[in-house]
C-alpha cells in the first residue's frame, strides 16, 4: 500500500485496530497520529496518511 495514501478516520481506525471513537478522542487530546483536514469547510473529513499511522505505532511501541 502506498505510504502516502490517505485514509478517513474510520479507515485509519480499522487499519490500527481501534474504534473510530477512540481515534476521535485521541485526535481531540493530541495523543493520536498526525492528521489533517481535507479541505477548508467545517465538515471536511479528517484524514490520515498511512506513513503517519505507521510512525505513530512505532512511537507507541517505544513507550
pLDDT at position 63: 66
0.85 exceeded by pTM: yes
pLDDT by residue for the chain (63 residues), tens only, comes to 787 899 999 999 999 999 999 999 999 999 999 999 999 999 999 999 999 999 999 999 876
CA dist 30 to 1, 2, 26, 34, 56, Å? 26, 25, 6, 9, 12
Cell representation of residue 9: 478516520
pLDDT at position 3: 75
For residue 7, list its beta bridge partners.
48
Amino acid at each position: 500500500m502506498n505510504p502516502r495514501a490517505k485514509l478517513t478516520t474510520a479507515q485509519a481506525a480499522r487499519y490500527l485496530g481501534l474504534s473510530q471513537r477512540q481515534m476521535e478522542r485521541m485526535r481531540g487530546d493530541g495523543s493520536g497520529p498526525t492528521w489533517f483536514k481535507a479541505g477548508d469547510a467545517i465538515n471536511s473529513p479528517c484524514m490520515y496518511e498511512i506513513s503517519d499511522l505507521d510512525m505513530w505505532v512505532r512511537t507507541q511501541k517505544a513507550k
